[in-house]
Chains A and B, each alone.
Chain A
Amino acid sequence: MRRDDDISGKLDWATILLYLALVLLGWLNIYAAIYDESARQSIFDLSLSSGRQLMFMAAAAIIVMAIVIIDMRFYETFAYVFYGLILFMLILVPIIGKEVGGNKAWIGIGSFGVQPSEFAKFITALAVAKYIGSVGFRMDNLRNQVVLFALIGLPMVLIQLQKDTGTALVFTSFVLMFYREGMSPFLLIVGICAAFIFIITLLVPNPLYLHVAIGIILIIAILMGKKKFKRIALLTLGALIIVGVIESVDYVVKDVLKPHQRNRIMVLVDPDIDPLGTGWNVTQSKIAIGSGSFAGKGFLKGTQTKFDFVPKQSTDFIFCTIGEEFGWLGSLVVIGLFVALLLRVTFIAERQKNRFARAYGYSVACILFFHFAINIAMTIGLFPVVGIPLPFFSYGGSSLWGFTILLFILLKLDAHRGQVLQRI
């Protein structure tokens, strides 16, 4: 086979530009988040998050070069090996890991720490894509489906064991990709219905009211339609399932979840339920974003994100800085960039000639989408506070490198899309 010498020419430059824009904006915002007027520190000061982020960015550039140089077949060939290795590391984390901010998710190398869970995302994406791309794979085959869910379930469980609920939830985003690859939408619909019932259950103080309402609806439904036994039985069964779900949600929320987790959910339904405790972060975050008005206060002019009013202002709540200093226009730009990137990634995924690359492409889109959606929803009070970073924006080496690898493997595969045998 012919070796392609001019790889850079075939890399998707639109995606790379979007990536650069996001990373640079993120860097500026990290500086803004910790900026202290009186201290007169430079953005390059290595004692600041911004200075260290620049180092992480430089390292990311080296990683990108490595990805581009390495043969594209490498990723598919070794997908399972990587997968096994990362599982091993995730098992190792609770044993030899060090604790940072209450979560034991880090493995220390000297004074540096990396979070294996950040790398588990792209590795799982590779493994899942390889499985989907394998000969004889059928999405409607139950056995294949079981394997798929096991592939995403294993790292998810291991990460949850580190009490990193946010990152564990990220793995549910693969379901969207499964749907694109042909899985019945039934699961998605059930999931959305369950979420709907979940929220209703939280809103209604006593599940008994819901049961009565469902009973009435059931009777009306039975009386309105044909009185056939099969139809009545199905309706009753459906109603019973919903009643069961309500009861179990009620049980989980009241008895299984820890008080702080329960509060995070309850705060969504009623932000005033605990304005002093759990609601505090979200209130502060909303104040910061809301105070940005239309055009923002200007770069480095924000007052809320500094002085500790907003928690984790350079990592999980980095969007506050954008909202405060660049206002709605800034939010529009950032959200626009993300949506553009997502659409571009989808476009790239669609033009792949083999199923492995396409599945991987959609995995990239879904993971990025999940982070983007949950992170911003959390800062503006639309979703419970779960600690996941905003891709390319949030401070942190592991997170930046993880997303960079995730994206550039796709670009590498895309650059060589003409070279692969078609097996779609």
Chain B
Amino acid sequence: MNEGRREILQIVFVLTGLIFLIKLFFIQVLDNKYAELADSNAILRQVEYPFRGLITDRNGKLIVYNTPEYDLMVIYKDVKDFDTTRFCNVFGVEREEVRKKFKRLQDMKRRKDKDFSPVKPMLFIDQLSNEDFAKAQDHLDEFPGFYIEARTTRAYTTHGMANALGYVSEISKGQLENDKSGIYKQGDYIGQSGIEAFYEEQLRGKRGIRFKLRNVKGIEKGSFKAGEYDTLSIPGQDLVTGIDLDLQMYGEMLMKGKAGSIAAIEPSTGEVLALVSGPSYDPTLLTGKNYSSNFQLISTDTMKPLFNRPLMAQYRPGSIFKIAQAMTALQEGVITPDTRIRCDRSVINCHGAHTNEDLRGAITNSCNPYFHNVLRRMLNKGVTNDPFSDTRVGLAEWNKHINSFGFGQPLGIDLPNEKGGLIPTPEYYDRAYRNRPWKFSNIYSIAIGEGENLVVPLQMANFAATVANRGFYYTPHIVKAIGKDKKPLPQYSVRHYTTIDSTYFKVAVDAMQNVVEAGTGQYRAKLADIIVCGKTGSVQNEPRPDHSVFIAFAPRDNPKIAVAVYVEFSGQGARAAASIASLMIEKYLFGKTKRPYVEDYVLAGKFLD
């Protein structure tokens, strides 16, 4: 049955050997190509680093660009004896330093350091100055084994906007391990935060590779196969941001010495006009030679300048939240704009002299009992007789409406590490109360933006933009145009509608206009030539001073800018935040302020006196 199978196997063995020998005869004896390639001793693979994309502001002003940097590299085994004095002269280094560097290499060799290789280029002197480079170029041939590698580093035209821009630095070990693209190698640079990280893919460009032939002595002998396999490096795509650099810098000046944020958005597009985080740092510190020491300083600063407040600081929103409450209540039909509620200060405190306001009046005066009552009407509609389950149903509906303004989850701005805040759900309270029952009287402080509510300043600005648009928003984004397409990422061209009918927004707009003209914001937020709509907020921090909050947009019709300002521990919203917001609006719409006294007031920073 198995006759001949032994022979078949033996034939297979012999045949395989024969096939190998024939194939080897072809490549070893008949084809001279390989011998020639080997005679030139190697194909040298040179990587050409692309230029990283440039970043400009909305008016075409350059913000981030590249500047060349020259490193002197050494290939250990190719180094021949050379004149040290001359070497020091050419490269502008001290004798002692050269000696030290060689000693270090020899030590590494002796220790069999895994970073040491006699045949691979290693860094000898990093970041030669431009003059040294120019001088060295002509004398490089006198020092075999040394060559200059050019790469570029980031440079900035501004000392601001650090947290939005982010920075670029050498890829870390962890990043290298997690990198699935296989693009990066040790020593490569990568965007670490801000736009630089978020748009890494667009900014980095594509590396070029050149194949050079080398002879035995390591001298280049032209390109491999006449450059057939060479690829040119493709520069990264340029990014146009929606940032108005003048406005941004003005905002940073106003925030000097304060902790907090400014977020300004163009309502009709969702483009971020300014994004200020205070305190901040100077982005030029995190580039070039002193990166490591500066990073150490900045990252250990107790004021946390790397913490990007507009996106990451989660605060209770305070009274600005009453606008969202009003919209939700109107939509749910539990009040009309004309509903009057007595300002009963027995349950919840209030301020100012008012007794029985309608909705507009309640917003203008920021009446706490009014909104306490309104929330009760929303949460306890009497769907069931049980006050506990009734509140559950009401809260779930309320949550849905509030979330439609972009609260409760990260908006999805094109920057890393955005936080989403918190808008409580029934499940949230179940967990908080460990499944003990809860009802309206336990949770009523969410009515006035206190309690469990948390939002980030960007969400507040987006909320102002939503009211400005009368019911919809575009996800806020920094970059408005990428590369040659000049389009933002697709998700930023989608309108998000709230669950509120747009007719109800008229009430909010009227009331916010009233806040600025006759209410809490009248002293510092009002502008002469234009109707500003706004709302103040003072978020309690017993025993420390309140956080000062203001959201606004202007002009009332066809709004050009929506802004949210949050200044930590600075008292009433009508003071610090309202002043800064109105100055930002004025600066953006008119180029400068006509109210130097407000500017002086902000810069002086004495908001609690």
* Chain A contacts to B: CB under 8 angstroms: 36, 38, 47, 176, 179-182, 260, 275-276, 286-294, 303-304, 307-309, 323-324, 327-328, 331-332, 335-336, 338-339, 342-343, 346, 350, 362, 365, 369, 372-373, 376-377, 380, 382
Contacts and interface: CB of A to CB of B under 8 A. Distances in A.
A372 B2 CA distance: 25
Interface of B: 1-2, 5-6, 9-10, 12-14, 16-17, 20-21, 23-25, 27-29, 31, 33-35, 37-39, 41-42, 45, 77, 112, 117-120, 182, 209, 211, 216, 229, 231
Contacts of B28: 289-290, 292-294, 323, 327-328, 331
Contact of B1 (A182, A339, A372): A182
Nearest to B38: A291
Contacts of B120: 308
B62 to A, nearest CB: 34
Contacts of A289: 24, 27-28, 34
A380 B17 contact: no
Contacts of B9: 176, 179-180, 346, 362, 365
Given A331-B20, A335-B21, A380-B23, A290 B38 contact: yes
A180 B2 contact: yes
Contact of B77 (A38, A286, A294, A324): A38
A382 B23 contact: yes
Nearest to A368: B13
Nearest to B229: A275
A323 B182 CA distance: 32
A260 B33 CA distance: 27
Instruction: Give the interface SS of chain B, mostly helix, strand, loop or mixed.
Output: helix
A348 to B, nearest CB: 12
Contacts of B38: 287-288, 290-291, 303-304, 324
Contacts of B112: 47
Given A289-B28, A294-B29, A331-B20, A303 B216 contact: yes
Nearest to A177: B9
Contact of B21 (A36, A324, A332): A332
Contacts of B42: 304, 307, 309
A38 B118 CA distance: 11
A33 to B, nearest CB: 14
Given A179-B5, A292-B28, A331 B21 contact: yes
Contacts of B117: 308
A66 to B, nearest CB: 30
Interface centre among A336, A343, A350 (most CB of B within 10 A): A343
A290 B1 contact: no
Nearest to A284: B43
B27 A293 contact: no
A343 B5 contact: no
B5 A180 contact: yes
Nearest to A341: B13
Nearest to A349: B6
Given A181-B2, A328-B28, A369 B13 contact: yes
A275 to B, nearest CB: 5
Nearest to B181: A259
Contacts of A342: 13
The 4 closest A-B pairs by CB, nearest first: A290-B34, A291-B38, A339-B17, A290-B27
A290 B33 contact: yes
A350 B6 contact: yes
B14 A308 contact: no
A224 to B, nearest CB: 32
A336 B182 CA distance: 41
A303 B37 CA distance: 11
Contacts of B14: 339, 343
Contacts of A373: 16
Contacts of B16: 339, 369, 372-373
B37 A335 contact: no
Contacts of A365: 9, 13
Contacts of B209: 276
Contacts of A307: 42, 119
Nearest to A303: B41
A276 B2 CA distance: 49
Interface centre among B16, B112, B182 (most CB of A within 10 A): B16
Nearest to A180: B5
A38 B231 CA distance: 35
B10 A346 contact: yes
Contact of A323 (B17, B24, B231): B24
B145 to A, nearest CB: 13
19 contacts: A276-B209, A289-B28, A290-B35, A291-B37, A291-B38, A294-B28, A307-B42, A307-B119, A308-B119, A308-B120, A328-B21, A331-B20, A339-B13, A346-B9, A362-B9, A365-B9, A365-B13, A373-B16, A380-B27
